Structures are given as structure tokens and as C-alpha cells.
Amino acid sequence: MANIGQGIDRVDGRLKVIGRAHYAAEFTVPDVVHAVLVQSTIGAGAITGFDLAAAQKMPGVLAIITPDNAPKLHTQGGAQQTVRAPLLQDRDIHYNGQHVAVVVAETLEQADAAGALVRVQYRRDEPITSMDAVLDQAYAPKNFRNGERSPDSRRGDPDAAFDGAAVKVDATYITPIEHHNPMEPHATIARWDGNRLTVWTATQGISGAQQTLAGLFGIDKADVHVICPYVGGGFGCKGNTWPPATLAAMAAKVVGKPVKLALTRAQMFTSNGYRPRTVQKLRFAADDQGHLVSMRHDGFSQMSQPVLGEFAEPVGLATEMLYACPNVAVTHRLVATNASLPTYMRAPGLSSGDFALESAIDELAVALKQDPLEFRLRNYTEQEPHLNRPFASKVLRECYRQGADAFGWSRRSHEPRAMRDGNILIGWGMATSTYPTHRMPASVHVRVAANGTALVQVGTQDIGTGTYTVMSQIAADELGIPVERIQFELGDSAFPHAPVSGGSMTVASVGPAVKAACEAVRAKLQGDAGVPVPELLVRGNTPFVEATSEAKPGEEEKRYAMHAFGAQFAEVRIDADLGEIRVSRFVGAFDAGRVMNAKTARSQLIGGIVYGLGMALLEETHVDGETGRIVNANIAEYLVPVNADVPDIQTIIVPNDELTSNPLGAKGIGELPMVGVAAAVANAVYHATGVRVRKVPIRIEDLLV
Ligand code: MOS
């Protein structure tokens, strides 16, 4: 009974379709009242006073919480190390849209109406609204990758090698601010029972939320109960515990009733992070045979004011490890602006960084007059060159081959502007993808009954990716029980601990713990491996058996480099007169390790490629240069791909049965497929038009040269 790998339907699919899957804002909590956020209308400065008289007179108003009366939080502890976001603890304004007050009323409409009447007086400073103006004030991150490594790395002597090289590219690439825009906006219902806090909140990490809220309110972790059975997408913006969750709990404390606080779509642009703008300076060089001799990647990413925390977009990570090259230097710098704190967004660092890296590689291939795929194969590395370790596995060569075959790459003309269909210029471009294989410790509880059912519980999350389904498949195989008879529960901090659902690591982290707990159950019964566990219970006349097990990474993490890989191929069709760009075909071939569910995996791959198409051609958050206000804080003017933007997408999963990385052999599939898409499209645009666009999103006007 091999369930793993089968493309079975989502076990929670029916509940979602009939509306019975309850998301954070949808829980029925008796006596709940409603909170709305009031936001600053200036980009920098301080609050000098409030006029609350009109708002306070409005019907239904229970409280107006401002920095003048807000309960003091324990902000000095470890809980807020990454997000020291504004929590009404002082009158300083660091960005336009910062929360300055919370209005609580009996109904949402009453809270909204009162909130609109809150008047705030300010002392205005001049906001820094663009990183480009202050690039010379860049500084090194203090806590890069949680302090696990330096923001800079170097091997060999890249500058000398560059100076002496035959063929060079020296160029700057720019990526914009992007916002995640999951379908479900962030929402929290908070209820206090004495000193115990319960929150129903939309989060990618219930244990992080538990720890952060406990720290801020100065209570025991065990006294914070976080519930989150379903998440309507996160893409990174629900990874940290952002101010709205804390402010909901604060409001509930102030009014002594449960409080619901749901963000508006516009507030999704100011209240839970974004992908920061990057400016990346690359200097790459090759010898006349097409061997890379020097790679320098200096990355600048836009930040908030440092007082709000720190987030550095790790744009150089792929440059360090993707190709064989003896001389490589990578730096990461931050540029403070008056904006909210940036955060992880699908394939953080890798997607922005890979756009620059794989564009520059294409430019070098063009300069060398080599086929871009040939050039990459010439610089292929079997050894991870930064850590100087073998890869646990790497079937990227096979991704290149299968992707190129499916796409028809060998029929590509070398020269740009050489492939036409009437007035339409056709371009073919490709790029490499990679994403690290992460894993963290996780624990799982399993209880199997003699009636043939099993209950599996773990404090993980399903952010729409299929955790319920895939974990049920793993348990079913281990226990010898049909998938339908597995009751899989997650999203409750009362369950055993699991890591944040980020970094594409849920299957690799939680899957082995499910497996371990099932094995522990079986070991207790001392039965033959092939016999279903319920049958062992019947034989032994035992009503049930249960076990809790932890699984965690081991020595393999020190011996091997672990990455997923992919090869992305794009065809664009561009109107020669108008410059209109359409992506007409896309092929992605991936080394994602072992696939748990063919259907959810394919959905992830397609979704990631679509996300990448958004980066290539559409997505960009615009900030008003005068006020620092986001001007397209809605999904009408923040463009995301719709059906008409998405071509036929072919996804290929290249078999890889390696089990060194983790016991399930899963390399992570959530972020990998978006990496390289923007570069593949940009390279195709060059091939179609001869115009090299070094920024995304690529617009019609970029081609009018
Ligand atoms: Mo992801 S950006 O690690 O949720």
C-alpha cells in the first residue's frame, strides 16, 4: 500500500469547498467585539496629540487605544528580536501607514466609523522614501541569517581575476518592493480567560506566535493557546507574528472581551512585511573558453528604520554555490528608509538574487557567443564550491536535459531578433533555479485504535500547500491503514512542537517525525513490518497504542550541502511595434527530491512559476516619493498574474531517490519553482528583442529604446 507519491486529492478539499474549513476570522467566539486600526498619514516624525472627542461619542465604541493609554508590553525580551514593530508603545512615527491607534466597538461597522473620526496631530520630519537616494549610507546587517554567518564571503581574488579576464559583464540589476497578497488577509481573534490568552490567528508558525505573544505580555508560553487549522496562503507574510495579532490581544485585555481584528486588503501592504527592493551590482568574468573566472555580487536591500528590527534579503546565496568558479565575492548591505519592516517572501533572496545572477550569466554567454545552456553546463559543479562539500544529491544536469528536450531548446537561434511570427518577435530564454533543503526538529503524537483508525497530531500548519494530505499519506503507509482512516490534526499549540511553515521545510521536518512516531507505535507492539498496526492490536487484544516521537537533522547537515535544483525555460512573444510582452510557453524541470503527492507537487510547481511570472512582468509596489505612502495598496493596481497572463506550463519532476538529506528524501517544493522564472523571462525578452532589461517587472516602456 504505497500512498506516498500518489496524486491523491486533498483530504481537506471537501471541507474547503463547502465552506466548513474555518479560517482565523471565521471562528464563532461568543461576545466577540471588533477592532480596527488607525494608521499614520505621515512618513516620519512623531505624534504630538490626539483629538478623540468625536470618535469617542460614536455608538458602540468600547475603547480607543493610543500610545498614551496602551498597556506596556515586554518589548525588551527575546520575543521581538526580528520584529520590533510598532505596538503603540511610543509616539514615534517611522513610516506612512504605521498603526497609531486601535478602535474597539461592538460591531465592525461601528469601529470603522469611529476610527475614521480619530484625529492625530503630528510633528513632521522629511521621510526617506527611496533607497536609491541614500545608497551611499548602506550598512552591513548585524544579524545576517540569524547570525549564523557573515553577510560577506570571498574565495580567491575576484577583483584581480576580473581585471585580467577575457570576457566581462559589469551591470546593476534592480528588483522592486513586492507584497505577498495571500487570498486570506491576516486576522486574529483574541480572548483572555484570566491570565490565559487564546488566539485564533492566521499564521505560518503557531509556536512562534505562542512564544512572541507570551514574551510581549510577560506570561508563560503554556498560558498562550494558538489555534490555526487553516491558512489561506502566506508566502512568508504570516511567518513572523506581526503587530495586528498583538494589538488584538492588547485590545481584548483592555475591553475585557474577545476581540476580532482582521486586516483590510489595503492594510496587507503596511502591516505584515514585504519583499524589499534590491539593487545588485554584479561583475562576472570568463576566460575565452567560457569558464567562469570571477563572480562578484554586491547586494543592497531596502530596510525600514533599524529601530523596527532587521531583515536582509540574502541575494548572494546562489552566487556562492551554483557554479564552479575559483574567485567569488558576495556582500549584503542594508539601506534604511521610512518604510515598514521587510520580511521573507516566497524564495527570499533566491528569487531576487537569481534574477540578477542568471541574467548576468546569460549576458556572459551572449558576450562569449555561446549557447546559454552550454555555458552553464561548462561551469557545472558536482561539489558545493562555497562550503566545499559534496551535494547530498544533484540531478540538475538531468533537469537541464529534460527541460531542454521538452522545450525544444536545440532549435533556438543564437542571434537575438532572429525568430519571428509575422509582426511578433519570439524569444527563448532559460535560467537555473536552486533552493536550499532545510530541516528542523519536529515532534508528532500518534494513536492507533484496534478499530482501524489512527489519530495523528502535530503543531504544524497547512498554509494551503497540502500538509494535511501529505502527512496522512505518510502515516497511512507506515501504519498500514487507508488514508481515509487517518485523522490528521494540526494548527494547535497544544500539539507537539513543529517548526514554522517556511523555508520549504515542512515535509522534510514534520514528515520524518510522523514516520518516527508510527515506527514507535509499531515497535511497542513488536509486530512484523508488513502487518497493519490495527491488526497487531486485534491479535494482541489491545484497544489502542500511542507514542510521541521527535525527529531531527543529524550529522548529514555537516557533511553535505543540500539543495533542490531546477531548469526554467520561457518563450515570449513580443509585438514588434507595441512592445507588448506575452509569455507563450513555459517549461520547468525540477530536482525536488522524492515527491510525496504528484498532484499537490504539480500544483506547487505551477503556482511557483506563476508567482515568478508575476515578478517578471507585473508585480511592483509603488511608494509615493513625497509622502512615503504606498499608492497601489490594492489588488486592482498591484498587478498579479491572472489566467490570461499564464501560458501553458509544463512541469517535469526529475526522479531522485536520495535519502541522505532526510528520511523521506523530500527537498522542498514550495519556493524552488519561482526561482529563475524572472531571469528566464528577461533572457527570453533579450533574445526576442536584443534589449537587455536589468530590472523587473519588465514593462512595455522598457522595450521602447
Ligand atoms: Mo516562506 S518566504 O519561507 O514562507
Which tens digit of pLDDT belongs to each residue from 686-697? 999 999 999 999
671 catalytic, yes or no? Answer: yes
Determine whether the shortest distance from the Cβ of 258 to ligand 1 is under 6 A. no
Q: What pLDDT was estimated at residue 76?
A: 65
Question: pLDDT higher for 77 or 50?
Answer: 50
Q: What pLDDT was estimated at residue 77?
A: 55
Neighbours of 162 (CB within 10 A): 20
Determine whether the shortest distance from the Cβ of 503 to ligand 1 is under 6 A. yes
Residue-level length of the chain: 705
If you average pLDDT over residues 313-332, what whole number do you get? 98
Report yes or no: 372 and 676 within 8 Å, Cβ to Cβ.
no
Phi, psi for 291 (deg, rounded to 5): -95, 130
Q: Is 48 exposed, middle or buried (0-12, 13-18, 19+ CB in 10 A)?
A: exposed
Q: What pLDDT was estimated at residue 80?
A: 47
Q: What pLDDT was estimated at residue 681?
A: 98
Angle between helices 350-368 and 677-689 in degrees, nearest 10: 30
Q: Is 553 exposed, middle or buried (0-12, 13-18, 19+ CB in 10 A)?
A: middle
- Residue 215: DSSP 8-state: H
Residue 79 has pLDDT above 90, yes or no: no
Residue 301 has pLDDT above 80, yes or no: yes
Q: What pLDDT was estimated at residue 687?
A: 98
Q: Compute the mean pLDDT over every residue in the chain, rounded to the nearest whole number.
A: 96
Of the candidates 489, 491, 486, 556, the residue with the CA atom closest to the CA atom of residue 521: 486
Distance 347 CA to ligand 1 centre (A): 6
Q: What pLDDT was estimated at residue 81?
A: 47
- With cell 523587473, the residue in question is 696
Catalytic one of 178, 478, 519, 671: 671
Q: What pLDDT was estimated at residue 438?
A: 97
If you average pLDDT over residues 623-630, what whole number do you get? 98
Cell of 344: 521573507
Query: pLDDT by residue (tens digit) across 463-517?
Result: 999 999 999 999 999 999 999 999 999 999 999 999 999 999 999 999 999 999 9
Helices (H), 383-466: 396-407
* Encoded amino acid at 489, one letter: E
Question: pLDDT higher for 39 or 84?
Answer: 39
Determine whether the shortest distance from the Cβ of 436 to ligand 1 is under 6 A. no
Q: What pLDDT was estimated at residue 1?
A: 55
Of the candidates 464, 457, 526, the residue with the CA atom closest to the CA atom of residue 488: 457
Q: What pLDDT was estimated at residue 256?
A: 98
Q: What pLDDT was estimated at residue 584?
A: 98
If you average pLDDT over residues 302-320, what whole number do you get? 96
Query: pLDDT by residue (tens digit) across 16-28?
Result: 999 999 999 999 9
Ligand 1 atom nearest to 347, measured from its CA:
2
Distance 500 CA to ligand 1 centre (A): 9
Using pLDDT thresholds of 50, 70 and 90, give the confidence band for residue 519. very high
Closest residue CA from atom 4 of ligand 1: 236
Determine whether the shortest distance from the Cβ of 345 to ligand 1 is under 6 A. yes
If you average pLDDT over residues 111-126, what whole number do you get? 98
Q: Helix-strand-coil percent breakdown of the chain, rounded to 5?
A: 30, 25, 45
- Residue 20: DSSP 8-state: -
Q: What pLDDT was estimated at residue 318?
A: 98
Report yes or no: 319 and 385 within 8 Å, Cβ to Cβ.
no
Q: What pLDDT was estimated at residue 528?
A: 82
The Cβ-side half-sphere exposure at 294, using a 13 Å CA radius, reads 21
Residue 41 has pLDDT above 80, yes or no: yes
Q: Which of 186, 241, 344 to mutate to test the pocket of ligand 1 (most atoms within 8 A of CB)?
A: 344
Of the candidates 30, 29, 34, the residue with the CA atom closest to the CA atom of residue 109: 34
Using pLDDT thresholds of 50, 70 and 90, give the confidence band for residue 704. confident
Cell of 272: 505584515
Residue 78 has pLDDT above 60, yes or no: no
Report yes or no: 501 and 669 within 8 Å, Cβ to Cβ.
no
Residue 381 has pLDDT above 60, yes or no: yes
pLDDT cut 70: percent of the chain above it:
98
Angle between helices 677-689 and 598-617 in degrees, nearest 10: 50
Report yes or no: 328 and 381 within 8 Å, Cβ to Cβ.
no
Q: What is the pTM of this model?
A: 0.97
